[in-house]
Amino acid sequence: MLNQSVLDSLTTRYKDRPVILEKIQAVSTCLADLKQQRLPKVALPKLLYSQKKLERDPALLPLDEAFGDLRQSLIADFGIWFLPNEQLIDDLENFIAGRPVIELMAGNALLTAALLKRGIQASATDTLDWQGQDNERPTPWTPVKEEAALKTVQRAIAQAKEEPNSSLPVFILAWAPNGDESDWQILCELRKSQRPFDLLVIGEKDGDTNSQAFWSSAKLSQPSTLNGHYQAFDAYQDAIYLAK
């Protein structure tokens, strides 16, 4: 697992390589922020090296191996499967434009907590049943309503229909489990409502998040205004999508 002790050892090993030291310091600062339930200010740089680079410079192998453990360490130590940052929250705030937000399958609700600090009307729901996950102990950064994502969406649609001039909130779904078709069911429910909607999905297309039904059937765009400060830091090529 990647922790401060490992980072200190890497700092000593690569003390004469300033570019590497910058990466190590970025990870160290990130972990320190998360311990205080703060998002890092900026996205991490790309941490891993290509096979060709490792073959040319085998001294990088211990560093690459350590950085490869980062996401698993985030999951085990903090219950975090993806890594937002404050610049991303700036971009989300601009996209949201004063609308309410619901974070679905919110886990520890990092996004909701950060948005609430900006004065945005945000809420989070999750089943809070993490049995069988790599981390089975939810420790939310802000209160999370115990509710399945599909039920949350159905409730929001029903509420909007009761108020003629109301609109749906912005829905955010980050790193939904792969193989679970709740994401596809949510999108179908939103389409069926016949109301304008924005569903933001953070995940790895055709990879380790979300269901194949969702990826193959959703109409996806990848807004540059939301991806400018969200970038893959390891082997997972996750991004932010607008699903319709």
Q: Kindly give the confidence (pLDDT) of every residue in the chain, 244 residues in length, as a single tens digit, with 9 standing for 90 and above.
A: 999 999 999 999 999 999 999 999 999 999 999 999 999 999 999 999 999 999 999 999 999 999 999 999 999 999 999 999 999 999 999 999 999 999 999 999 999 999 999 999 999 999 998 877 777 888 999 999 999 999 999 999 999 999 878 899 999 999 999 989 999 999 999 999 999 999 999 999 999 999 999 999 999 999 999 999 999 999 999 999 999 9
3-state secondary structure of 125: strand
CATH of the domain at 212: 3.40.50.150
Same domain, 130 and 18: no
Same domain, 56 and 92: no
Containing 239, the helix (H) or strand (E) segment is strand 239-243
Same domain, 72 and 110: no
If one counts the domains in the chain, the total is 2
Same domain, 138 and 216: yes
Same domain, 63 and 160: no
Q: DSSP assignment, residue 141?
A: S
**Sign of the alpha-carbon dihedral angle for 160, 161, 162, 166:** positive
Nearest Cα neighbor of 127 from 82, 67, 177 is 177
**Count of residues making up the chain:** 244
Burial zone of 13 (CB within 10 Å; 0-12 exposed, 13-18 middle, 19+ buried) = middle
What's the CA angle centered on 103, arms 233 and 1, to 5 degrees? Answer: 35
Same domain, 62 and 156: no
* pTM of the entire predicted model: 0.95
Same domain, 97 and 8: no
> Which of 23, 44, 78 lies at the terminal end of a domain, its last residue?
78
**Domain carrying residue 38:** 4-78
Same domain, 44 and 114: no
